[in-house]
A and B are shown apart, each in its own frame.
Chain A
């Protein structure tokens, strides 16, 4: 019966474009793709060197000096936004990669071991989860000094419980399947079953969670820079651009609006992409693809 439905639906599905079927996926994917390209380009080329001050050209509105104007030191806003994109995306990506691997490892182990290990690991997660990331970043900043490393650790620590929760519930569901029982009847142990059966079947949920958490990590990184807990001053970040713009809100509003837009657009893009991927990959939605 299922074979029949597949052959009936496939040609129909091809006729409508991906954009109409999955607008979230396409819009989100496009935004993120453009941002990633801009971030990489900033490593080799920006209209002006992002740190270069030209005090005579300070606080020029967009198009008067450069495409997007200049700030209070006469630095080119477009160049700073481009370099900031690299800083934001790289910190968020590394932090989420750390948090996702550690959280997933914890989650699959808890699901495989159950019992006391699961209880202790999950309660420890709850404790970490109870701290706002900004607060733990401030504590870490006091301990390690501010900078890229502190920002990454602060965000990653906050991501671990998120991923271990998602993983432990998804993995527990897979553990209850008969094919896992069959693998145990074939004499396979927890590690082998986790690698061969659990991880491939929860990968979708983890991927979706990664995109959503990337958006959140961008936002957290911006918040940390805004408070001066992110990367050290000469390096441009969206958060500190916002913080610096506060003083000139009345005279040079574009200084606040532009980095604010960049942050909002990035978070929006990741959330759209996450939503789209969830629709695409979620097995419960499979009947509708």
Chain B
């Protein structure tokens, strides 16, 4: 019997309607019928280029923005069907770590106050002494000291600030932490420290992470599962190692090929077609204009996410051609 996933996202769509005074109203679809599940206790990576809807996904999962349609089922409850009070109570179970360690901490508050902020969602808020103890314990578990609670954010480095943000996210002992580009603003060595901390917290506390990033190497290093997003749609999902070792969607291939590495210095000579006219919403595959293997069918029929092999899903009509057995060796880049 399959366990109920912690996070179950069904057909999530978010349209931003531009309604400027002197221009025609236009719809910008940030998320397009996105479906995915996240199992408890895993680190689930989401990758994709800028503007593909990753951050919109994070905001909606956090209940900070409402979807145009679709459902987010968290731990058995449809988040957007809860009333305000129930949603507030639910918030203790999901918290967030933001990208910018300088913008996500109020410069006028002490670290202690910042870390204690989410305790606001608890029905029974701890008293002053208990809060102080909780904050101290939390700071220590992210590698800071209890004395740091008295200081202000500007006294800390970027990596330390991100530890503070992680402590804030974990103080209510949430089941899910959404990390939106949580290490992107940090130096490489500090990135590694913070990533190790996240993995350690997953092991010790059983926290589930939804780890959103544009950096494949980071996902490759920490994630159990990965979802690849393109233009608001999930185009491929599967175990992280497998997805990057043998991509089953041409976009994942392009992403993996664009990743810098020791072996291929600089950027590979582009074999892609230039980004031509942007595909219209809902007609055909949105990636077809950049796709090296696009066929006639791709222009008329939008591919749905389908299971190709156990645990691997892809949204490509021609995914079979990308299977390792049929794929010519020279076309593979990783």
Contact = CB atoms under 8 A, between A and B. Distances in A.
Contacts, number: 58
Given A2-B154, A3-B155, A185 B104 contact: no
B104 A187 contact: no
Given A185-B95, A187-B91, A179 B103 contact: yes
Given A185-B62, A185-B91, A187-B91, A179 B104 contact: yes
Contacts of B117: 182-183, 186, 188
Contact of B120 (A179, A181, A187, A197): A187
A197 B62 contact: no
Interface in B40-79: 59, 62-64
Contacts of B87: 187
A121 to B, nearest CB: 18
Interface size class of A (residues with CB under 8 A): 10 to 19
B168 interface: yes
Interface in B100-115: 100, 103-109, 114
A188 B87 CA distance: 11
| SS of A interface (majority) | helix
B207 to A, nearest CB: 15
A201 B120 contact: no
Contacts of B165: 182
Contacts of B105: 179
A178 interface: yes
Residue from A2, A177, A178, A200 with most neighbouring chain B CB atoms (10 Å): A178
A194 B95 CA distance: 21
Contacts of A123: none
Nearest to B178: A185
Interface string B161-183: 00001001000000000000000
18 contacts: A178-B99, A179-B104, A179-B114, A181-B64, A181-B98, A182-B104, A183-B117, A184-B64, A185-B91, A185-B96, A186-B121, A187-B87, A187-B88, A187-B118, A188-B120, A192-B120, A196-B106, A200-B106
Interface of A: 2-3, 177-179, 181-188, 192, 196-197, 200-201
Interface of B: 59, 62-64, 87-88, 91, 95-96, 98-100, 103-109, 114, 117-121, 154-155, 165, 168
